[in-house]
Amino acid sequence: MASPLTSRVTRAVIAIVLGGALAACGTDATNTDDQNTPSTNVTTTNATDSAANAGQLATVCDSPVVVQTDWYPQTEHGGIYELLGDDYVVDAERGATTGSLVFRGTDTGIDLEVRAGGPFIESPVVTEMFLDDTITLGYVGSDVALSRYAEAPTLAVFNALTINPQVILWDESKHPGVSTIAEIAAEVRAISVFGDRPYMRYLVAQGVVPADKVDTNYKGVLMLATDDIAHQGFATSEPFRYANLESGAVATAYQLVHDAGWTSYPQNLAINKLRLEPLRPCLAALVPMMQQAQIDFIESPDRTVATILDVVERLDTTWSQSPELAAYAVATMERLGIVGNGTTPIFGDFESPRLDDFIARAVPILREQGLPIPDIVAGDIATNEFLDADITMP
Domain boundaries defined on the chain: 11-161+264-381, 166-260
394 compared with 39, residue with greater pLDDT: 394
Residue 13 pLDDT more than 90? no
Residue 81 pLDDT more than 90? yes
**CA distances (Å), 377 to each of 23, 59, 364, in order?**
11, 33, 14
Confidence class of residue 55 from pLDDT cuts 50, 70 and 90?
A: low
Confidence class of residue 21 from pLDDT cuts 50, 70 and 90?
A: very low
Sheet holding 154-159, edge to edge: 89-91, 96-103, 106-115, 65-68, 137-139, 268-272, 154-159
26: region left, alpha or beta (phi > 0 left; psi from -120 to 50 alpha): left
Cα(206)–Cα(202) distance, integer angstroms: 6
Q: Say how many C-beta atoms besides its own lie within 10 A of residue 331's C-beta.
A: 15
Return mean pLDDT, the chain: 89
Given this chain, do its domains 11-161+264-381 and 166-260 carry the same CATH topology? yes
Residue 39 has a pLDDT of 28
- What is the average pLDDT across 278-300? 97
Residue 17 has a pLDDT of 32
Q: Which of 27-41, 142-156, 157-171, 315-329 has the lowest mean pLDDT?
A: 27-41
Confidence class of residue 22 from pLDDT cuts 50, 70 and 90?
A: very low
**CA distances (Å), 330 to each of 112, 297, 311, 315, 349, in order?**
23, 9, 18, 22, 20
Confidence class of residue 3 from pLDDT cuts 50, 70 and 90?
A: very low
Confidence class of residue 56 from pLDDT cuts 50, 70 and 90?
A: confident
- What is the average pLDDT across 273-287? 97
Torsion on CA atoms 166, 168, 170, 176, rounded to nearest 10 = -110
- What is the average pLDDT across 263-287? 97
Domain 11-161+264-381 has CATH 3.40.190.10: yes
Give the ranges where 95-196 is alpha helix by DSSP (H): 125-131, 142-148, 181-185
Domain 166-260 has CATH 3.40.190.10: yes
Q: Which of 47-56, 153-162, 169-178, 320-329 has the lowest mean pLDDT?
A: 47-56
**CA distances (Å), 35 to each of 8, 159, 239, 354, in order?**
17, 22, 44, 17
- What is the average pLDDT across 68-95? 98
Residue 367 has a pLDDT of 97
Confidence class of residue 49 from pLDDT cuts 50, 70 and 90?
A: low
Q: Are strands 106-115 and 65-68 parallel, antiparallel or unpaired?
A: parallel
Confidence class of residue 319 from pLDDT cuts 50, 70 and 90?
A: very high
Residue 43 has a pLDDT of 33
